Structure 1
Amino acid sequence: MTVVIIGGSGSLGAESVRQATAAGHPTAAAYTTKPANASEAAWHPLDLPDSKRVDAVLAEAGPHRVVNASSGRAEWTITAQGPVRPAMAAAKAAAKTGVLLVHPQAVVARTSLIIGDGRCEHERIVHELAAGNRDRVLFTDGIRCPVHVADPAAALLELAPRDTTGIHRLAGPHAYGAVRD
């Protein structure tokens, strides 16, 4: 099963690349600024809003499954519009309707607070708050179920070859309320 991982140099993407290549899957990974250190994958520069480039990368790689592990933070064209093309997405809530509209056979994987490799912005903030080096509220808008980066990466690869469709929540087993200073 050939896998393309968009956002392959980010936290979830790099872990997905690591697990896919370790499982022996031919893997292509896309990045915006620089590839990660996984030499087992074929790396492709990609800007998600560039639909012609997305099509070219997918045509070259010939994937059976596409995992979109990109993180557009607050940029609408990456977070909401970018995931509409790939067949499997780990995108923000704004993208799920578009992905399923364009690809009704897709899996939309919604993740919670991803932690575990020290690269996640939220994880760094928590460590700074705990050490007293930062005066800030982490979040106030709900409940988070932190999940180690290896778990959603494994779940994405597990969901990929199945005839599963729709929205799936990939979260940790414990729910936490707002972290305040």
Structure 2
Amino acid sequence: MRLLVVGASGHLGGEVCRRARVAGHDVVGTYHRQSVPIDGVDWRRLDVRDGAAVRALVTTVRPDAVVSSAYLYADWAVTADGAAHVAAAAAERGARLVHVSSDAVHGGRSQPYHDDEPPSPVFAYGAAKAAAETAVRLVDPSAALVRTSLILGDEHSKQIRLCLDALAGRAALYSDEVRCPVGVADLADAVLELVAGDYAGTLNAGGPDGVSRLDLGRLVARRYGLDARRLRTMTIAESGGGRPAEIRLTGVRAAEVLRTRLRGAAELLAG
């Protein structure tokens, strides 16, 4: 398979590239500022905000499938418009599309969210991801849209680094924000399964357990032999608000659709 990974210099995109190469696929990865060292990946610079550039790249690369994982937290044009450009170019090519979305499309509540629930964003990033989903579904109803949560990797990954910074006094964790963290390797394997399949629509792909950021920090502290009592915390209200507090994703459909088992934070950080 010839696979185009848009946003390959990101945490998840890079892992998708690595695992796709191990599986023997021909991989083209895009970056905006800087590529990352991954053996065998054909790197192409791309600004997804430029629809003509996205179309030209897809026309040149001629992929069988496209993974769309590019985003910038505070940039609507990259997160929403960029996703629409990628979806349009992939559909024109007739390539299989897997779009990576986020639990941030939801507004937060105590009950878990099911796969097909419509977006209800309450902050700008969530609204951008919801707009991206809408564009993808309109352009290509056969695409798979992966709603995931906090993505965990090694000590250099964003979410683990944030916990380590909170333990060192350089950041604070929200004590009342609950998510369903998932490992980057598991999520990448799930994305590649969807690439090879024909699943259409939204699919929750978070870990099995809801975990507060404070409890995630405690798990990281235990994993790295640090004193959890040093964790700095705050509430969402103390930060100025505007973020959803509790977003849990049901994983029943993912367990039915995927061979990959999506592990949660406690299992990933044990030992």
The question of a shared fold, defined as TM-score above 0.5 by the shorter chain, is answered with yes
Q: Determine the structure 2 residue equivalent to 1:152.
A: 187
The 1:21–1:32 alpha-carbon spacing in structure 2 relative to 1, beyond 3 Å, is: same
The 1:173–1:4 alpha-carbon spacing in structure 2 relative to 1, beyond 3 Å, is: same
The 1:73–1:139 alpha-carbon spacing in structure 2 relative to 1, beyond 3 Å, is: farther
Which consecutive residues of structure 2, in runs of 5 or more, have no partner in the other structure? 88-96, 102-128, 215-232, 235-271
Q: Determine the structure 2 residue equivalent to 1:90.
A: 100
In the alignment, does 2:127 pair up with 1:117? no
Q: Determine the structure 1 residue equivalent to 2:197.
A: 162
Q: Determine the structure 2 residue equivalent to 1:4.
A: 4
AA aligned opposite 2:159: H
Displacement after TM superposition at 1:138 (Å):
3.6
Which consecutive residues of structure 1, in runs of 5 or more, have no partner in the other structure? none
Which range moved further: 1-10 or 115-124?
115-124
Equivalence map 1:122-137=2 (5 Å):
122-129=159-166, 131-137=167-173
Larger radius of gyration: 2
AA aligned opposite 1:127: L
Cα distance between partner residues in 2 of 1:71 and 1:138? 23
Cα distance between partner residues in 2 of 1:135 and 1:10? 22
Runs of 4 or more, structure 1, over 6 Å off, are none
AA aligned opposite 1:88: V
Structure with the larger helix share: 2
Cα distance between partner residues in 1 of 2:178 and 2:152? 15
Displacement after TM superposition at 1:178 (Å):
4.8
Native 8 Å contact 1:5 1:13 kept in 2? yes
Residues matched between the structures, number: 179
Deviation by residue 1:42-78 (Cα, 9 ceiling, x = unmatched): 1110001011111111111111111012131110011
Displacement after TM superposition at 1:161 (Å):
1.6
Q: Determine the structure 1 residue equivalent to 2:13.
A: 13
AA aligned opposite 2:35: P
Deviation by residue 1:125-144 (Cα, 9 ceiling, x = unmatched): 11122x2423523474x531
Give the TM-score taking structure 1 as reference length: 0.91
AA aligned opposite 1:4: L
SS in 1 for 2:196: coil
- State the identity as a percent: 35
Identify which of 101, 108, 111 aligns with 2:145. Answer: 108
AA aligned opposite 2:63: P
Q: Determine the structure 1 residue equivalent to 2:80.
A: 80
Cα distance between partner residues in 2 of 1:23 and 1:83? 26
The 1:135–1:47 alpha-carbon spacing in structure 2 relative to 1, beyond 3 Å, is: closer
Give the TM-score taking structure 2 as reference length: 0.62
Deviation by residue 1:91-123 (Cα, 9 ceiling, x = unmatched): 333311111011111111111000113343332
